[in-house]
Amino acid sequence: MKYLILVLLLPFSHSLTAQNTVQDDIDKLKAFVEAEDYRSAMLLGDKLIGEGIKEGYENQAGDVYLYRGIAKFEFEIFDDAIVDFKQAIAFNKNLTESYLYIAEIYYDLSRYSSALENIIYYMNNHPNDVHGLALKSKCLLEIGEPMAAKIIIQKAIALVSSEPELYYVRSAINSALGEDEKACNDAQIAVRFGYELANNLVTAFCESEDEEEENEEAKK
């Protein structure tokens, strides 16, 4: 009888061991991504997928595709990264972080409508994510909706007032709305917070007093 019980338990024990091994590999994969060792993350992801991670481990398969997608994203292998992110969602619909990465890729490729579509999916599950709000605001600005963009970026700044990129984005939005003084002010705030990219906006939006006087004289 004891022998029979032992025999019956063996397949369960093997399955549990295999599952633990898979989870250990996924934890290692996640650690590679967090350590920014993206090459190792891709190699391990390739190994797991090649071994058939799909079969019987649907949730774990989603994680593998997500982390391998992030590694590809960081290497700017964008088309393949999108495929991995979509696979991650197909296996596990709760991996909504994939939508954020897809939106980032489409934004960088100047496909703003596609970026907006994906960031909206992401924001449905993460309504107060400041990075997501900033990206949504930038997408709205690019498709010609600066007022809607400003509403979104205002929400982001209300949540996190210390993030310089938010002022950088609002500076561009204010400029599009013709609010030049506010655009200049936000660009200067971003620079004071250490956001070097905002220097270009300061140059573009902030006229010196001498330049303003020269412009006034020219109008006369």
- Residues 19-57 have pLDDT tens digits of 558 889 999 999 999 999 999 999 999 999 888 775 567
Least confident of 32-41, 58-67, 121-130, 177-186: 58-67
Question: Considering the chain, what is the average pLDDT of its residues?
Answer: 88
DSSP state at residue 77: -
Q: Compute the average pLDDT of residues 108-129.
A: 97
pLDDT of residue 144: 97
CB atoms under 10 Å from CB of 33, counted, come to: 21
Q: Look-up: residue for tokens 């909706």?
A: 145
pLDDT of residue 84: 98
pLDDT of 17 higher than 70: no
pLDDT of residue 211: 58
Q: What is the pLDDT of residues 55-92, one digit of tens each?
A: 567 668 999 999 999 999 999 999 999 999 999 999 99
Band of residue 13 on the pLDDT scale cut at 50, 70, 90: very low
Band of residue 12 on the pLDDT scale cut at 50, 70, 90: very low
Q: Please report, rounded to a whole number, the percentage of residues in the chain having pLDDT higher than 90.
A: 78
Is pLDDT larger for residue 218 or for residue 60? 60
Q: Helices marked H in 51-145 — which ranges?
A: 58-74, 78-91, 97-108, 112-125, 130-142
pLDDT of residue 50: 86
Residues 6+ apart with CB under 8 A from 165: 134, 190, 195
DSSP state at residue 162: T
Q: Long-range contacts of range 193-196, CB-CB < 8 Å, 24 or more positions apart? A: 193/162, 193/164, 193/167, 194/164, 195/164, 195/165, 195/167, 195/168
Yes or no: say if 78 and 56 are a contact pair by the CB < 8 Å rule: no
Which SS3 state, helix, strand or coil, does residue 80 take?
helix
The length of the chain, given as a count of residues: 220
Least confident of 13-27, 85-99, 107-121: 13-27
Yes or no: say if 173 and 154 are a contact pair by the CB < 8 Å rule: no
Q: Look-up: residue for tokens 């650690």?
A: 31
Please tell me the distance from the alpha carbon of residue 21 to that of residue 161, in angstroms, as a whole number: 43
The full set of domains in the chain, from first to last, is: 15-95 (1.25.40.10)
pLDDT of residue 184: 97
Q: Compute the average pLDDT of residues 149-153.
A: 98
pLDDT of residue 22: 81
pLDDT of residue 209: 42
